[in-house]
Homo-oligomer: A and B are copies of this chain.
Amino acid sequence: MNVRGEHYRTVWLERRTVRMINQPLIPHSFEIVDLKDYRETAEAIRNMVVRGAGAIGATAGFGMAQAALQAPAEDPVAFIEKAAEVLRATRPTAQDLFYAIDRVLAAALAGPRERIAEIAVAEANAIADEGAERGEAIGKAGAELIKDGCRILTHCNAGWLAFVDWGSALSPIYVARRQGKRLFVFADETRPRCQGARLTAWELAGEGVPHAVIADNAAGHYMRAGEIDMVIVGSDRIAANGDVANKIGTYEKAVLAKENGIPFYVAAPTSTIDMNCPTGDDIPIEERSEDEVLYMFGKDDEGKMTRARIAPAETHARNPAFDVTPAKYVTAIITENGIVEPGETGTERE
A:310-345 near B, CB below 8 Å: 310-320, 323-324
Cβ of A106 under 8 Å from chain B: no
Interface SS of A by simple majority: mixed
Stretch at the interface among A9-17, A49-57, A139-147, A297-305: A297-305
Q: Would you call B220 and A255 a contact (CB within 8 A)?
A: yes
Contact with B along A22-56 (1 / 0, CB 8 A): 00000110000000000000000000000000000
Among B218, B313, B318, B319, point to the contact of A319 (Cβ < 8 A): B218
Binary contact readout A211-250 vs B (1 if CB under 8 angstroms, 0 otherwise): 1111111111110100000000000000000000001110
Which chain B positions have C-beta within 8 A of A218? 248-249, 318-320, 323
Is residue A100 contacting chain B, with contact meaning CB distance below 8 A? no
Q: Is A8 an interface residue (CB 8 A)?
A: no
B310 touches A194 (CB 8 A): yes
- Residues of chain B with a CB closer than 8 A to A259's CB: 255, 259
- Interface status of A190 (Cβ within 8 A of chain B): yes
Given the interface contacts A194-B310, A298-B295, A307-B300, does A216 sit within 8 Å of B216 by beta carbon?
yes
Q: Inside 8 A of A28's CB, which chain B residues have their CB?
A: 309
**How far does the Cβ of A291 sit from chain B's closest Cβ, in whole Å?**
11
* A205 on interface, CB distance cutoff 8 Å: yes
In the bound assembly, the distance between CA atoms of A221 and B325 in angstroms comes to 9
Answer yes or no: A256 CB below 8 A from chain B CBs.
yes
Are A216 and B191 in touch, CB under 8 angstroms?
yes
With the chains together, A38 CA to B320 CA distance in Å? Answer: 46
A249 touches B217 (CB 8 A): yes
A81 is an interface residue with CB less than 8 A from chain B: no
Bound complex: CA A42 to CA B13 (Å): 60
Known: A259-B255, A295-B298, A319-B214. A189 touches B189 (CB 8 A): no
In order of increasing CB-CB distance, the 6 nearest A-B pairs are A217-B249, A298-B308, A296-B296, A27-B312, A220-B252, A221-B323
A–B complex contacts, Cβ < 8 Å, 13 sampled: A191-B216, A192-B217, A197-B293, A198-B311, A213-B293, A215-B216, A215-B249, A216-B217, A220-B249, A220-B251, A221-B251, A221-B323, A298-B308
